[in-house]
Amino acid sequence: MFLFNEIDPAEISWSYLSQISWPDLADLFLQKASHFGGNLLLCIVIYFVGRKIIKYLNLIIGRLLNSRNFDSTVVSFLKSLINIVLTAVLLITIINVLGINNSSFVAILASVGVALGMAMSGTLQNFAGGVMILLFHPYKIGDYILAQGQEGTVKSIQIFNTVLITVDNRTIYIPNGGLSGNTIVNYTNQLTRRIDWTIGVDYGTDYDKAKTILFSILRADKRVLKDPEPFIALKTLNESSVDILIRVWVQRSDYWDVYFNINEQIYKNFADKGINIPFPQLTVHLANKSEL
């Protein structure tokens, strides 16, 4: 009877196999299958236990960093990085248990790494972008930003992506490379924001009357800041309207409530006071034949 442990794998060849009987060959196959099956089962156990350990370590590291008052952006980035590193270690451990030759594996990884490095230059750029965001803090978790044509509240800053939650509860993943190399509008950095309106009225409207009505609406809203004072001016003599510019400052959290409420108040008060907000129109004069 052949024992698997007594056989050098290098000696197993067609000439060797031709010298043994079918029962011994079947026995050899069963030994190899049993050995591989045991290793495979062990790898499955290692994988699930390893994932549990990685999850637990991430939890411990997160609590430790939070207890040291680390910025939530740094915590999110480090947890993502640690998760990737530990997962790579877990995969290498599984490969060792399966008995794959490390030197061959490292050589294969080196050649594959060169190819992947060229193919995944964008991914490496995203990693570098994540580091830049971590260092310069253009935004942090909880900020409301506009970038790459998308806007929302920053949920997490991962090693390759930044995750946004939009106002209608969509989740958007934006690569860090694009964020670090392009314009980012952060609406949360400042405590106050300015609201602008452009309101059109009919030609012939009493401008001073319209201005007085607008000032009364703004002063009645306690959310409109007194410093800087509200600003009203005649902006443009447009094709079908006289455009009035309004600018006020409010607390950041009051921006949209004030914006929509003042819109409503202007519409109602102008209607009550007989001031018309015109729609775009064009007056066409037809010439007589004698004028041609």
Residue 93 binned pLDDT confidence (cut-offs 50, 70, 90): confident
Residue pair 207/274 in contact (Cβ under 8 Å)? The answer is no
Tally the C-alpha atoms within 13 A of residue 38's C-alpha that lie toward its C-beta: 6
Q: Nearest 5 degrees, angle CA 26-CA 32-CA 37?
A: 120
Q: Which of 118, 153, 186 is the last residue of a domain?
A: 186
The CA angle 141-142-148, to the nearest 5 degrees, is 75
Tokens at residue 104, please?
A: 């061959």
Q: Note whether residue 34 is domain-resident.
A: yes
- 13 or 111: which leads in pLDDT: 111
User: How is residue 7 annotated by DSSP?
Assistant: S
pLDDT in tens, 158-200: 888 999 999 999 999 999 988 888 899 999 989 999 999 999 9
**In 10 A of CB 242, how many CB atoms?**
19
How many other CB atoms are found less than 10 A from the CB of residue 193? 18
Tokens 């952006």 locate to 73
Whether residue 215 sits in one domain with residue 256: yes
Region 23-40: mean pLDDT is 65
Peptide bond into 175 cis (omega under 30): no
217 and 264 in a common domain: yes
Phi, psi for residue 196 in degrees, rounded to 5? -115, 135
Q: What is the CA radius of gyration of the chain?
A: 35
Q: Is residue 286 part of a domain?
A: no
Task: Give the end of a domain, one of 163, 186, 209.
Answer: 186
Residue 282 confidence (pLDDT) above 80: no
* Helix 102-119 with 72-97: angle, nearest 10 deg: 140
Do 143 and 158 fall within a single domain?
Answer: yes
Percent of residues, the chain, with pLDDT higher than 90: 39
Domain boundary, last residue among 186, 207, 222: 186
Decide if 154 is inside a domain: yes
Provide the CATH number for the domain around residue 153.
2.30.30.60
Three-state secondary-structure class, residue 174: strand
The answer to whether residues 198 and 249 belong to one domain is yes
Q: Is the pLDDT of residue 284 over 50?
A: yes
What CA–CA distance (Å, rounded) separates 276 from 204?
10
Q: Across residues 267-290, what is the average pLDDT?
A: 81
Q: Could you give the CA distance from residue 89 to residue 53 in angstroms, rounded to a whole number?
A: 12
pTM as predicted: 0.57
Residue-by-residue DSSP string for 92-133: HHHHHHTT--HHHHHHHHHHHHHHHHHHTHHHHHHHHHHHHH
- The whole-number average pLDDT for the span 50-62 is 83
Domain count of the fold of the chain: 3
- Same-domain status, 146 and 67: no
SS3 state at 220: helix
Residue 283 confidence (pLDDT): 67
Q: Has residue 45 been placed in a domain?
A: yes
- Mean pLDDT is lowest, of 8-17, 123-132, 218-227, for 8-17
Residue 38 CB coordination number (10 Å): 11
Residue showing tokens 């939650």: 165
Question: What domain range includes position 53?
Answer: 4-71+82-97
* 25 plus 90 within the same structural domain: yes
Residues 14 and 41 in one domain: yes
Averaged pLDDT, 79-93: 80
Q: Which of 262, 208, 260 is nearest to 232 (CA)?
A: 208
Residues contacting 248, CB < 8 A, separation 6+? 194, 195, 218, 224, 225, 230, 231, 258, 262
